[in-house]
Amino acid sequence: MLLLAVLGLSSLSFTSQIEASQEGIRKDYVERDRQLEKLWSGIYISGTYVRDYLLDDSEATAEAHKAAFLEVRRQIESEAAAYERLVRPDERAVFDQFTAEFRAYLETVGPVLNWTASQRKAGGKSFIEKEVLPRRALVVDLADRIHELSERHLDANSDQVRKLFSLFRSRLVWLLVSTLGTGILLTALSLRRILALELETELRFQQLLTAQHELKRLSAELISAQEDERRRISRELHDEVGQVLSAIVLGLGNVRSAFERHDGNDALRQLQLVEDMTQRNVNVVRNIALLLRPTMLDDLGLLPALKWLTREVSRRAGIDIDVTADGDLDDLPDELRTCVYRVVQEAVNNAGRHSGARKVKICLNRTSTPGTNERWLLVSIQDDGKGFDPSQQTGLGILGMGERIRRLGGVVNLDSEPGRGSIVSFELPVPGESPGVSSDQSLAHRV
């Protein structure tokens, strides 16, 4: 649009210049031609009046021709003075010659204006042929030469106008080519951008379809996992708690029978068995409750809960698990502690069930960004198992970990290769505190 505007303004400017130049040339030529035409006609008519004056026998008519000649001479002198202001340098020599010849013509004609009738009749015809007509013809010829110079100047100005037109055409062609080239370039860039946007849209659409497919698969696996968890809890309740309760009922029946037989020793022995089974049942129920939601996560904090979890996994799977922490983890929000606990739980369970790892290292580090109030909790779980390809093997547990972390605004990274072990690392933003306020002060303020 800018090039088109420049093209239009340039065209208007050139057109105005050319139009003004043509108008100036036309006015100058018309004015010069009009003045020369007046001079030429005046000189020609003056010769006619002189001829009529010399050849006329009537004194009254001769005087009329003389008066007409004098009037024409005055007009010619006035027109010559007016044209002298328009004379160009290249016309000066011819115009000076014209002026000299015109004055000589007038000086030649001047004396005969006082001739008597007899003088006019005797020498008028000869004077006309020898003096008036040749001098008039010479002056008229000089006027024609001046007119030719004016026409040449007109031709030169016309050439200048043609050059302006040629320059205008050249610039117009250049601007048109520039505009066309820029338009083609913009079109190519626009098409490239549109194609890139279409490709990106198609990619986003495919990602959306993939995400929908993953969500459907995740929903199905989640339902399956829930059913498996319910089945496991039901089996443990039936196998562990149910059998122990049945044994307690039988033990209590034996105690009653012992009391009916008045056998105190047997009753005490049966009561001891019932007490042992009750204690074992309490431990089973507590383990099931801890697996569902460890109360120590709420009562003691994140680090003790993780250490208890790692001890239980080490006891069951025979894995050496090391937990280290750097920074205060006591004032973390509940949802943040729950997220870290569940992700670590899933990671160590995967290491024990699938990777065949013998050692697992868990590191927690609380940091802050210098110069800002941004605080982060960095967590990494590294094992020495057989590893896997994250781009090909992604189960429900890994998807669940990613969803938990991203829901809290965190970033997760899974680094693993077959035969090289696995590293699950993630960052979670920690809600900041006011500058200069300690954790205890902040907690007291909230209370």
Q: What is the rounded CA–CA span in Å between residue 386 and residue 290?
A: 29
Higher pLDDT: 343 or 353? It is 343
Q: What is the rounded CA–CA span in Å between residue 140 and residue 125?
A: 21
| Residue numbers of the domain that contains 342 | 294-446
- 137-151: buried (b, 16+ CB within 10 Å) or exposed (e) per residue? ebbbebbeebbebbe
Residue 224 lies in a domain: no
Residue 54 lies in a domain: yes
Residue 241 lies in a domain: no
Specify the pLDDT at position 435: 39
Specify the pLDDT at position 432: 63
Residue 288 lies in a domain: no
Q: Of 183, 212, 227, which residue sits at a domain end? A: 183
Whether residue 170 sits in one domain with residue 305? no
Whether residue 167 sits in one domain with residue 299? no
Whether residue 429 sits in one domain with residue 301? yes
User: What is the tally of structural domains in the chain?
Assistant: 2
pLDDT tens for 64-115 read: 877 887 888 788 778 777 777 777 777 777 777 777 877 777 777 777 777 7
Helices (H), ranges, 237-263: 243-260
Residue 430 lies in a domain: yes
* CATH code, 430: 3.30.565.10
Higher pLDDT: 419 or 187? It is 187
Residue 194 has pLDDT above 90, yes or no: yes
Residue 378 in contact with residue 427, Cβ under 8 Å?
yes
Whether residue 302 sits in one domain with residue 167? no
Q: Of 183, 206, 227, which residue sits at a domain end? A: 183
Whether residue 322 sits in one domain with residue 179? no
Residue 436 has pLDDT above 60, yes or no: no
Closest CA to 341 of 395, 375, 387, 296: 296
DSSP state of 370: T
Closest CA to 284 of 321, 334, 247, 338: 247
Residue 276 lies in a domain: no
Pairs from 432-438 (Cβ < 8 Å, separation ≥ 24): 432/373, 432/374, 432/375, 433/373, 435/373
Whether residue 298 sits in one domain with residue 434? yes
Lowest mean pLDDT of 155-164, 172-181, 316-325, 358-367, name the range. Answer: 155-164
Q: What is the rounded CA–CA span in Å between residue 164 and residue 171?
A: 10
Specify the pLDDT at position 202: 92
Residue 6 lies in a domain: yes
Residue 438 lies in a domain: yes
Residue 191's pLDDT band, with cuts at 50, 70 and 90, is very high
| Tokens linked to 141 | 């010829």
Q: Of 142, 164, 183, which residue sits at a domain end? A: 183
* CATH code, 111: 1.20.120.1730
